[in-house]
Structure 1
Amino acid sequence: MSKQEQIVAAFQALQPQHLDILDESHMHSRGLETHYKAVVVSEAFAGLNSVKRHQKAYAAMGELMGQIHALALHTYTPEEWSLQGQAPASPACAGGH
Structure 2
Amino acid sequence: MTPEQVQALIAAGLPDAQVTVSGQEGHFEAVVICESFAGLSRLKREQRVNATVRREITSGALHALSIRPMTPEEWAQKHPNA
TM-score after normalising by structure 1 = 0.69
Q: Of 41, 44, 59, which aligns to 1:52?
A: 44
Q: Match for residue 64 of structure 2?
A: 70
What is the SS of the residue equivalent to 1:48? coil
Structure 2 unaligned spans of 5+: none
What is the SS of the residue equivalent to 1:7? helix
Q: Aligned-pair RMSD on alpha carbons?
A: 1.7
* Structure whose CA Rg is larger: 1
Would you identify which runs of 4 or more consecutive aligned residues in structure 1 move more than 6 Å?
none
Q: CA deviation at 1:85?
A: 2.0
Name the amino acid aligned to 1:10. Answer: L
Paired positions, count = 76
Distance 1:65 1:85, change over 3 A: farther
Identical residues among aligned pairs (%): 34
Name the amino acid aligned to 2:39. Answer: G
